[in-house]
């Protein structure tokens, strides 16, 4: 995947876990992609096939029993999705529970992956960033 994923979307999700996945993100991710647990917070990570393979390769670098346990936790709940003709996908009950997804969802592009969040959790996470810490983190970058 060469083009970065970006943008914020607020599609609806039904009680069975079906949602319309944003066209702009689908166009970049490709005809099929993987949903899995976000490793750094409670959201659903969405990877293209290529990026998912890279993700798995990175997880394979964690050796020993700890690596095995982490892979079991993260990969056992992963789910390959092929959107239907209307662009809808299904989020499993396990992934919805992990991310705390109920009614209101926010889908974002985050460079090499998309993320599906419970909207309230996403707002809380984004608003948790201290403006001074953000400026300090960005200070040395050439933007």
Q: Is residue 91 part of a domain?
A: yes
- Per-residue pLDDT at 2: 76
For residue 35, which phi and psi values (nearest 5 degrees)?
Answer: -105, 135
For residue range 39-61, what is the model confidence (pLDDT) as tens digits? 999 999 999 999 999 999 999 99
Number of domains in the chain: 1
The CB-side HSE value for 128 (13 A sphere, CA atoms) comes to: 7
Which residues are CB-contacts of 94 (< 8 A; sequence separation ≥ 6)?
A: 77
- pTM of the complete model: 0.94
pLDDT computed for residue 140 by the predictor: 86
In a domain, 63, yes or no: yes
- Mean pLDDT over the full length of the chain: 95
> In this structure, is residue 143 part of a structural domain?
no
pLDDT digit string (tens) for 74-107? 999 999 999 999 999 999 999 999 999 989 999 9
pLDDT at 1: 56
C-alpha closest to that of 116 among 137, 101, 97: 101
What's the domain range around 108? 8-138
Residue with the two structure tokens 């909207």: 119
Query: What is d(CA 115, CA 106) in angstroms, rounded to the nearest whole number?
Result: 8
The domain that holds 44 is classified in CATH as 3.40.1550.20
pLDDT at 19 over 80: yes
Query: Quick one: which of 92, 87, 111, 73 has its CA closest to 35?
Result: 92
As a whole number of angstroms, the longest Cα–Cα distance in the chain is: 46
Does the pLDDT at position 12 exceed 80?
Answer: yes
């Amino acid at each position: 995947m060469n083009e970065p994923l970006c943008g914020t979307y607020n599609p609806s999700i039904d009680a069975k876990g079906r949602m319309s996945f944003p066209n702009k993100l689908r166009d970049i991710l490709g005809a099929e992609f993987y949903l899995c647990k976000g490793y750094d917070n409670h959201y659903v990570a969405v990877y293209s096939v290529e990026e998912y393979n890279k993700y798995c390769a990175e997880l394979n670098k964690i050796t020993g029993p700890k690596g095995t346990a982490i892979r079991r936790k993260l990969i056992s709940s992963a789910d390959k999705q092929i959107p239907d003709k209307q662009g809808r996908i299904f989020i499993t009950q396990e992934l919805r529970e992990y991310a705390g997804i109920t009614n209101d969802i926010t889908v974002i592009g985050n460079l090499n992956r998309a993320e599906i969040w419970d909207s309230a959790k996403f707002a809380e996470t984004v608003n948790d960033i201290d403006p001074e810490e953000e400026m300090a983190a960005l200070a040395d970058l050439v933007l």
